[in-house]
Chain A
């Protein structure tokens, strides 16, 4: 099955700082890549996804991610974070030998301070 590795478990940033969260996946054929977010007290929701085409994907709330096939990476970025971005961020992959089931990374906890 596909596996996902997220490098940063806890990140603390000040408002207006730039954000980049790392995500790497194991190879297993054609894959689809996702970032999910879980705000405090809320359920998981989709932030953005990549299936094919332009490797730079834009999602909600100013987030974007870049698929770099040669590096098996799908890093999440935001130029200027806000306090409301405080949340848990999960990278996920499906396809290849994992079929439709999403395989999630361990998550990165982001705290944005005022």
Chain B
């Protein structure tokens, strides 16, 4: 399968713990996006990368959140000191450089904070 893959698919953690999600985009895609989706809501933009550069961050991305894409390939999203409000589906998407608007989404990583 050459689609966007995310790992883990489901993470259950206790409040206060740190969690990290990984996203492997489609290989020739240089733009990578992170979104968060909660029940009954559409995906909310968190951040995006062009190659290894993080070009935009949403106000939703508090200081406890950090994202990296060190070699311009896979990306990680880390949440420190998790809170119950962080429980959500974290979606990764990738696309080629031109603005076609066609994002290819992964199946998401579901976070449950107890």
Contacts and interface: CB of A to CB of B under 8 A. Distances in A.
Contacts of A90: 42-43
A74 interface: no
Given A100-B48, A101-B56, A106-B40, A43 B99 contact: no
A99 interface: yes
Contact of A32 (B42, B58, B91, B101): B101
State the majority secondary structure of interface residues on B. Answer: loop
Interface string B54-83: 001010000000000000000000000000
Contact of A100 (B4, B31, B42): B31
Interface string A1-30: 000101001000000000000000000000
B63 to A, nearest CB: 20
A19 to B, nearest CB: 19
Given A6-B42, A43-B3, A46-B102, 9 more contacts: A43-B4, A45-B105, A46-B101, A49-B102, A104-B43, A105-B42, A106-B41, A106-B42, A107-B42
17 contacts: A6-B42, A34-B101, A43-B3, A46-B102, A49-B100, A49-B102, A90-B43, A92-B101, A94-B101, A95-B99, A100-B56, A100-B99, A101-B33, A101-B56, A102-B33, A105-B42, A106-B41
